Structure 1
Amino acid sequence: GKGKLSKRDGDRLGFPVFPLEWHPEGGEVSSGYRESGYLPEAVVNFLALLGWNPGDDSEIMSMDQLIEKFDLAHCSRSGARFDYEKGRWFNHEYLQQIPDDRLAQLFKPVLRDNGIDPDNFSDDYIARACGLVKGRIYFVRDLWDQAKFFFKEPDSYNPKDIKKRWSEDTPRIMGELIETLRGIDDFSCASAEPIVLDWIASKGYHLGNVMNAFRLAVVGECKGPHMFDITELLGKDETIRRINLAVERIKA
C-alpha cells in the first residue's frame, strides 16, 4: 500500500519481510521467505524488479539475464511499491519450471509431515502426481491440498458436491460404471476415456452428473486435474475400490 514498509508490517499483514526467519533476542520471531516456501531464484527475480525495469516486457529472468539487462537508466527515482501478490506469482512461475522429478523430492518431506510414507510410492508415481497438479500451486506445501487424493482415499466428501451431484440413482449408475471400468484392459487415459464417455452416451445419462459423481467418489470433491489422468495414475483396482467406498458412505 502507501507509505513505507516496516519490518513489523510483514507478519501483521501476512507476508515475510526477511529473507530468513529472524530470531531477535527477547523479541518476536519474524517470518522469512525461505521458511515460507519461496525459491531463492524467485525472490531474486522479484526483488530485482522493485525500482527497476528491463526496458521491455520481460518479467521472468535468470540471474545472468538480470545482469545482462541491468542499466541504471531504468531505475526509478521514486520509491518502489512492494506487491506481495506479485512475489507469490513469481514463486508460482518458477515452480512450473521445476522438473517433476525434482519437485517430487521437494514434496516428500510434506508427505511425511502429513502422515504419508513416500517410500510406499515410487519416485515416478510421486513425480507424475506433482506434474498433474503443479499448475495450481504457489508453494511446494500447496501440493498436499492439491494432490493428497493420490496418496490416500478421501476421508470425507464435500457436502455441497454431494447435494448437487449425488442423487438416489447415483449408486446404481456408479455400479454400472464399475462394470464398465472392469471391462477396460488398457486403463490409460487415452483408452479409458472414450469407452466411459461412449457408455454414458449409450445410456442417455447426463454427462456432467455422472462424471462429477465419479470424481466425487474418487477424489472427495468435484475439482482437480483431468479425471482420466487421475484414474490412469491410481489404476483400475484403486479406482473401483474408491467408487465402492463412496457408494457405501455417501447418502443422497
Structure 2
Amino acid sequence: MKIEIQNQGFSAEINSLGAELTRLDQNNFNYIWTVDKAFWDKTSPVLFPVVGKLKNDSYTIDDGLFSLSRHGFARDFDFEVHQKTENSVTFSLRENPQTLLHYPFAFELQIGYTLLQNTLVIEYFITNNAAGKMPFSIGAHPAFTIDGAFEDYALVFENDQELLRHELENGLFSGKTSAILLQDKTLPLHYSLFEKDALVFKKLKSKYLTILKNNNPFLKVTFGNFPSLGIWTKPDAPFLCIEPWQGYADAADANGAIFEKEGILVLDQGQTYKASFAIEML
C-alpha cells in the first residue's frame, strides 16, 4: 500500500512494505531514484535490527545461534499505518513469529515521515517490549536521483576537511582505513570511489552534508543523532545513497556475540530510543 503526504507543493510517497520512501517530489521532480532492477531493487530500505553484514550472517546470545541477513528484516515486512495526517504518516512494526526466529525480542519500531515546507523529516522510535535488555541498530538507506553525469555532483560536509574511511571486504570491515582529503570540505564524486564497496565513516565532525549539482545546492541531508554514515552507489548507476547509521557491519574478526558487537545499542526493558534525520530539497 502506497501512502502519500503533501505540503505546499511538495509531496512524498511511502510504501507500507518496509515503510520505504519511494518518492520525494518538488515540481514533478522525484529526488528519490526510480527503481531499475538492473542496478538495484530498492529506493530507501529501513535497516533494522542490524546495519550491514554480520559475520557468517549470524550472531550469538549466550549459547543460542541466530541467523540474520544483511541490514536485518524490517524492509521485508508490511508495516501498519499508525497515524496519518495530510503532511505526515507514522508506520509501526512489531515482532511476529517470523521475526522471533531470527531476533528473539518483543519490540515496536515506529517510523514517522513529516513534510515541513521543503524538508522531509524521518523519525525512528524503537521500544523494547521484551523482558530484559534488547540489542539493536537502526539505519537509513535513501537513494537519491543522479540526473545526468555522476561527475557533475559533489558532497560538501559541514565541518570535515578529512574523512577516515573504514574499508570493507566481502561486506565486513577488514581492519584497514584510509584517509580521504577534501577540497574545502568538498568531495567530488566519481564512480572509482566505490570500487571497494561503500564509503563508511564511523565518526564525523559534520552533522549534515549538501549534495551539489554543477556546483549548485541540490539536496541537504542532516544526520541528527546518527554518528555514522555510509555513502554508496553501483558502477554507472543513476543514484547515490546517503545513509545515516547507528551501528554498522561486523569486523572480519568479530566473535559473533551480539551484545559485544561494535556500535550496537542496547535498550532496557520498556525503554524507547529515538533518532531522526532530514532531507531538504534545495
Tell me which interval the TM-score lies in, with the shorter structure as reference length: under 0.3
Q: Which has the higher contact order (CA 8 A, sep 6+)?
A: 2
Q: Indicate the structure (1 or 2) with the bigger Cα radius of gyration.
A: 1
Select the structure that is richer in helix: 1
With normalisation by structure 2, the TM-score equals 0.20
TM-score (norm 1): 0.21
When you count strand as a share of all residues, which structure comes out higher? 2
